[in-house]
Amino acid sequence: MARTTRLLTLLQLLRGKSRPATAAALAAELGISQRTLYRDIAELSAQGAPIEGEAGIGYVLRPGLFLPPLMLSEDETEAVVLGLRYVDQRGDAALAKVAAAALAKIEAVLSPAAQEALRNPTVLPGPPGRGFPANAVALTTLRAAIRAQAKLRIHYEGADGARSKRVVWPLALGFMNEARMLVAWCELRQGYRNFRTDRIASARETRERYPGRRSVLLRAWREAMNRDEAGRLTADRI
């Protein structure tokens, strides 16, 4: 195995480990000696890979983006660029800014062939929508509450014009072609609800974290959406 290929394979192995992996286990998976593995770990760390650990204990790759040269193929480059350009068109100002910064970082580490794919892609996002309704509450505020798992007290106006006060557990933001949605658990309705962000008149944190892990709640929301979709399909057939 060529050294470059081996280093990339080692990174992929570390990405797939939820717990520290010993040098012996990693070396066995790669078919190399532990001495070679130690040198490879040192080389990756010198290039900026966020690897933690030491000999005799184990190694783990900390969360964070690390893209060494030649990491992305042309097809992978186009997929990433398509996603970032979609964000630039449909995200809010904060997301559009960080998408541009991410694209610049990725371009800096791409191979010449991948850079050509970035400059002249074969796939393009469709035209932007007709514009999104204005939000009274900044999406950055909603994202901060999502990350903090903070309960929000919101004033909301439904499609029929009815206004309500609710306490919600914000889980995610959805970016549709014509609107943005806050996915949340609603204490008033005791169920998952999708709130259009342009209909949220105000939102403030209650200084209380909602219980459980956001990832678990989000998975339950997806399962509920899938059940609802399956029920609609069954009803359509009857």
Residue 176's domain comprises 139-237
Question: Could you tell me if 17 and 78 lie in one domain?
Answer: no
Query: Scanning the structure block, which residue is given the tokens 């992996």?
Result: 21
Taking a C-beta distance cutoff of 8 angstroms, is the pair 205, 151 a contact?
yes
- The pLDDT confidence band at residue 233, using thresholds 50, 70 and 90, is very low
Using alpha carbons, select from 48, 50, 47, 118 the residue that is nearest to residue 83. Answer: 118
Q: Is residue 113 domain-shared with residue 143, that is, in the same domain?
A: no
Give 203's strand partners. 154
Lowest mean pLDDT among 26-40, 121-135, 202-216: 121-135
Q: Are residues 92 and 168 in the same domain?
A: no
Q: Is residue 127, in this structure, part of any structural domain at all?
A: no
For residue 108, tell me if it sits in a domain.
yes
Q: Which residues are paired to 60 by β-bridges?
A: 52
Provide, rounded to the nearest whole percent, the portion of the chain with pLDDT above 70.
Answer: 86
**30 and 51 co-located in one domain:** yes
Evaluate whether residue 49 is within a structural domain: yes
**184 vs 105, residue with greater confidence:** 184
Residue 15's CATH number: 1.10.10.10
Is 110 part of any domain?
A: yes
Residues 147 and 232 in one domain: yes
pLDDT at 134: 84
Question: 85: burial class by Cβ within 10 Å (0-12, 13-18, 19+)?
Answer: middle
pTM: 0.63
Q: Are residues 173 and 233 in the same domain?
A: yes
Q: Could you give the number of structural domains in the chain?
A: 3
Residue 72 pLDDT: 66
Write out the DSSP string of 132-158. PPP-SS-HHHHHHHHHHTEEEEEEEE-
At residue 125, the pLDDT reads 77
For residues 10 and 37, state if they share a domain.
yes
For residue 30, is pLDDT > 80? yes
**pLDDT tens digits for range 172-225:** 998 887 788 999 999 999 999 999 999 999 999 999 999 999 999 999 999 988
- Does residue 100 carry a pLDDT above 60? yes
Cβ atoms of 146 and 171 closer than 8 Å: yes
pLDDT the model gives residue 236: 40
The pLDDT of 85-101, averaged and rounded, is 83
Task: Check the CA dihedral 193-150-164-176 and report its sign.
Answer: negative
Q: Which residues on neighbouring strands pair with residue 202, listed in sequence order? A: 155
CA atoms in the 13 A half-sphere facing the CB of 100? 8
Q: Which of 21, 36, 61 is the last residue of a domain?
A: 61
Residue reference for tokens 């005791």: 190
The answer to whether residue 165 sits within a structural domain is: yes
Q: Does residue 183 form part of some domain?
A: yes
Higher pLDDT, 145 or 108: 145
Identify the band that residue 130 occupies on the pLDDT scale cut at 50, 70 and 90: low
pLDDT for residue 235 is more than 70: no
Query: What is the average pLDDT score of the chain?
Result: 83
The answer to whether position 124 is within a domain reads no
Dihedral pair phi/psi, residue 215, rounded to 5°: -60, -40
The reply to whether 144 and 105 lie within a common domain is no
Same domain? For 170 and 228 the reply is yes
Best mean pLDDT range from 42-51, 130-139, 141-150 = 141-150
Q: What is the pLDDT of residue 226?
A: 86
Mean pLDDT of 22-49: 90
Secondary structure letter of residue 54 according to DSSP: E
Kindly state whether residues 194 and 104 are assigned to the same domain: no
Structural domain includes residue 131:
no
